[in-house]
């Protein structure tokens, strides 16, 4: 199970890092998507930091299981919140957030199972 966690965690950490980078740099597509669901531009650095911390936590979870669990829980909540935010405003372009929620949930299950 640990090897599966390592693979899923690495994939999710890469995706979360990319997403955090695009949020930090205020990529027009990311800003447009977040503005559509009601996120203020002032909240972008906080959200990017949360994604970056989740990515680092997943990688630290390779060595310290509780950090991996905490990071996976945080990312599940973050991306599930993104799905809810999109649904709340009837924006159905939520596939990336939904997929990342499922990958984060898989990382959580695999980290718990391998501990």
| pLDDT profile of the chain (115 residues), mean per 10 | 95 97 95 92 95 97 96 97 95 92 96 91
What radius of gyration do the chain's Cα atoms show? 14
pLDDT at 1: 87
Provide the pLDDT for residue 94: 87
Six-digit token pair at 57? 């936590």
The first and second tokens of residue 94, run together, are: 């939520």
Identify the pLDDT of residue 115: 76
φ, ψ for residue 61 (rounded to 5)? Answer: -65, -15
Quote the pLDDT of residue 37: 93
User: What confidence score (pLDDT) does residue 62 get?
Assistant: 96
Please give the biggest Cα pair distance in the chain: 41
* Cβ-contact 54, 74 below 8 angstroms: yes
- Hey, how many other C-beta atoms are within 10 angstroms of the C-beta on 55? 23
């Amino acid at each position: 199970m640990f090897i599966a966690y390592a693979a899923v965690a690495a994939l999710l950490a890469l995706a979360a890092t990319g997403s955090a980078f695009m949020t930090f740099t205020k990529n027009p597509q990311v800003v447009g998507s977040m503005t559509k669901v009601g996120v203020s531009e002032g909240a972008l650095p906080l959200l990017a930091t949360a994604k970056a911390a989740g990515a680092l936590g997943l990688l630290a979870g390779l060595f310290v299981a509780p950090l991996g669990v905490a990071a996976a829980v945080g990312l599940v909540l973050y991306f599930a919140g993104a799905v809810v935010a999109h649904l709340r405003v009837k924006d159905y372009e939520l596939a990336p957030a939904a997929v990342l929620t499922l990958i984060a949930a898989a990382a959580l299950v695999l980290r718990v199972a391998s501990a």
